[in-house]
Amino acid sequence: MLQKAMISEIDIELITLNQAIRDHFAWANKLIEFSLFDDRMDNSFTDPKSHEICAFGHWLRLQLTSSEENTAALLAIEATHEIMHDAMRDVIHCIGNPRALREKLNNYFHAQIHFLEATDRYKTELISLRNCYDTLTGLPLRQLLYKDFSRIANLRHLKGSTFYLSLIDIDYFKAVNDTWGHNVGDIILKELGQLLASNVRMVDRCYRFGGEEFIFLQECQNYSDFTAVMLRIMNIVRTHDFIIPGKAIKITVTCGTTTVREGDELQAIIDRADKAMYFGKQNGRNQCRLWSENNMIDIEKSATILAR
C-alpha cells in the first residue's frame, strides 16, 4: 500500500471503501428483487466482466491504478470480487432449477464471505497505517520515514536521481510556547505541517519528526532543482501569516540538509542533516545549510552566486 501524504487521505479512502461495499450490497439486493419478480436483468449482472462494471469494480480499479507498491491486499480483494461475480452468474443461470440452485447459492455465499474477509483485511491495514500519522499535523510520523527509506533508496539506485534529506526546525519555538502557551504552539505546528505538505512536490515526502521538527525527503535531478525547492519553502514560511487567537504572527525555520548517498544508513543521514541544522542555528537561524565534509554550505547564498 502506498503511504499517503496526509492522514486525511486515509480517512477519505476508508469512507470511499465503505461506500463501495454498500453499493455492492445494494447491487446484490437488486438481484434478489429481479429474481423474485422475474424482472429483466441488465448486463451489470450477466456480463462476464460484471466485476468491472459494478460500482465496487470502479472503486477497485481506481485504487489499483493509483497504488504503486504493496498492492497485495487490493489484489486479494480483486480476486475474491471476481469469484463472487462468477458465483452470482452461476446462481442466475440456475434460477428455475431448484436442485442446482442450492449448490450455486452456497458457492455464492462462501465467495461473499471471502470477499468480506479480504475487504476487512484491507480496512485493518488502512487503520494500522492511520496510527502512523500525527493527529495534530496530519503528516506521517518518523516510523513511516524509516519504512519509506528503503523504498526511496531503491528508487535512487534505479532512477539515478539524487535524493536529499532536510531537517526543518522552528526557530525560537520555546519562546512561542512561553509567550502564548502550548495551545498556540500546537496551532503553529498544525498550520506549518499543513503549509509544508501543501507546498512540496508530488515526488517529495514530508514527515513530522518530533517536537517542532519536520523532515523532507526530496528527489531532484540536479542541485539547481533542489535549491529552487528549498528557497521556495523557506520563502513561503517566512511570508506566511500564522493565525493565532487575536492576531497573526510570523515565524522562521532553520533547515539542515544532506544528500542521500548509496549505502548510507538512515540514522547517519539524519545525523548529518542535524549537524547542518545546528550549524544554522548557531549562525543566525532563519537559513538553510547543506552538510559538507569541509563546510556547511549556505544554500540561499550559493543559489544567488549560481544565478549570477
Using CA atoms in the order 94, 98, 101, 106, what is the torsion angle rounded to 10 degrees?
170
Number of Cβ within a 10 Å radius of residue 140: 25
User: pLDDT tens across 38-65, in order?
Assistant: 666 667 777 888 888 888 898 999 888 8
User: pLDDT tens across 151-174, in order?
Assistant: 777 766 666 678 899 999 999 999
Is the pTM here over 0.75, yes or no?
Answer: yes
- % of the chain with per-residue pLDDT over 70: 91
User: pLDDT tens across 241-288, in order?
Assistant: 999 998 999 999 999 999 988 888 999 999 999 999 999 999 999 999
Q: Is the dihedral of CA 158, 165, 252, 211 positive or negative?
A: positive
The C-alpha cell of 56 is what?
465496487
pLDDT at 2: 47
User: pLDDT tens across 138-153, in order?
Assistant: 999 999 998 888 777 7
Which among 137, 126, 257, 225 has a CA at the least distance from the CA of 188? Answer: 137
pLDDT (mean) for 72-85: 93
What one-character-per-residue DSSP string does 3-62 give?
PPSSHHHHHHHHHHHHHHHHHHHHHHHHHHHHHHHTPPP-HHHHSTTHHHHSHHHHHHHH
pLDDT at 69: 56
